[in-house]
Amino acid sequence: MSNDKYYSEIVKDLELSFWDERGRGARYRTTLVGVNYFKEKYGSDLADKSWSKTVQNVIDALVKDNIIKNATYDGKGNVLVVEFEGCVHLDVERELAKKNIDPFSCPCANVVMHYIDSLIGANSELVSIELTGDNCKVTIGIVGSTLEEI
């Protein structure tokens, strides 16, 4: 077993245990998973004055760090949709899906939310996660402001 496979198994087991304990409520306890790495490595460098440049900076960092292959995004009003392609976390989510556990945590979305939140001064919310093939599409609810106001 490779180290990557081993770490994926560990993360999957941790998520499974958390799901067993909290069910759907686990989503609201995992919003910071993955964020600290980027805060320590990039600090506030990924934040920009505009939400779109901030999201693009986060995507560029995720690609640079080999966490995703690419991503696209679209936002309007209080909704931001990001589609991540080729994410290293997909294997874990697929394994959980085999156990009928819908995705409830997305470290990549958490990083996007962290940097968007730094612009708006409020906490955004991970609304949904959809797995399709090699992609993961997340919908983020922007709280307190619309994207046009940021």
pLDDT at 40 > cutoff 60 = yes
Phi-psi region of 4 (alpha: psi -120 to 50; beta: other; left: phi over 0): alpha
The predicted-structure confidence for 72-103, as pLDDT tens digits, reads as follows 999 999 999 999 999 999 988 898 888 898 88
Which residue is it, tokens 């909290």?
22
Fold classified for 3-149: Muramoyl-pentapeptide Carboxypeptidase; domain 2 (3.30.1380)
Question: Which residue has better confidence, 70 or 11?
Answer: 70
pLDDT score at 8: 73
pLDDT score at 101: 86
* Domain boundaries of the chain, sorted by first residue: 3-149
pTM score = 0.87
Question: If pLDDT is split at 50, 70 and 90, which confidence band does 33 have?
Answer: confident
Spatial distance between the Cα atoms of 30 and 149, rounded to a whole number of angstroms: 27
